[in-house]
Structure 1
């Protein structure tokens, strides 16, 4: 009876997860596995360090959330700039100034879209980043993202420059010469001219309702699963649809 109660409580706590729960199966698997051990065997057995003063269920949920946060792999540099839609138009702001509930500029099926921010979490540590420099006509953009960040990239066999021909690649899979999507006033494309590796002490976990955003004028995903093959990575649009379907119930609550 006690074990059944603990498992039921674990499921309830899982449903009450903070916005990280929309990140993806990597986070959920870590969190749920941690809860299972914590509720049945205790905090020490789960190997977590909850905030001081917490015990019981609170210790499990808080400790597991903190322990599993590193599984959120797709992150942006703190100096990333995004376009926030407000009552008077569009304002370009640093990612550090973005709050959940605001709407950011993105594209979906080649159309501009105001997407709702579900989460923007600032994390400190030592993180490996890739900065891509993109040239589009006479414009030059750059974006620093973590190595496992998912990005739309034009398939090499694509017959034309269209969003329907984008695939999904992690930042560390990108190569000079790859074509990626850009977004200023309309959806466009640019060529990756440089790739630089670097370490940073801060990263932002940004999640939007569609799983996409325009950051530093480059179209990017906000899917925090790294290279998770539950998605059809050969198609950017299918991947976004799969991510949205996977998190449909949680997205309705936000």
Structure 2
């Protein structure tokens, strides 16, 4: 079967090969009474809580097994809105919330919706390898900008400004980041979002590890950002969470 050139350009996701090797090593270690703890991929070693299992069973028994609305169950979107209100004191309209089959699907849909052929998207290096593939699948170009410890391995507003060209469509960030675990300070993220907004671009922020941030300086959602003049920057930000 002939594979498309687009698919051929997708780079291997090497962490999965590492996971396979670790699983083989763990099996060998287990046979020798030396169990291993998996710290390689974001997958828990426990199943869904009993409450979730019971709710799923009740839904199936009640016949709730048909197609749902494309944007997600209204009750679920309401609940997510409520979570943002209780966790971050943000009033997010449920109509703005879209439920997808995981964060990767959300990033893929966002890129396909917002990026045209030839558009460039600024990203820090290091960053999650799959994210650049989403940009390339939309026929865009991921521009990887070296980001060192002086900036917590994140893009700075100065880097975004100096790297912005006519073809730049926006930025794709992750805070907290995979693989470094660092977050972007609130003020710095606001400066980035303000610049991108002024240039007519889009700011996409992967926030799937936001629940692991526990201090005020970094444990915030980009949806709550405001500019120096009080402008609600969150209105133009695409936040990916899970």
Establish whether TM, by shorter chain, passes 0.5: no
**Structure with greater contact order relative to length (CA < 8 Å, sep ≥ 6):** 1
Higher percent of residues as strand? 1
For the pair shown, the structure with the greater C-alpha radius of gyration is 2
Higher percent of residues as helix? 2
TM range (shorter): under 0.3
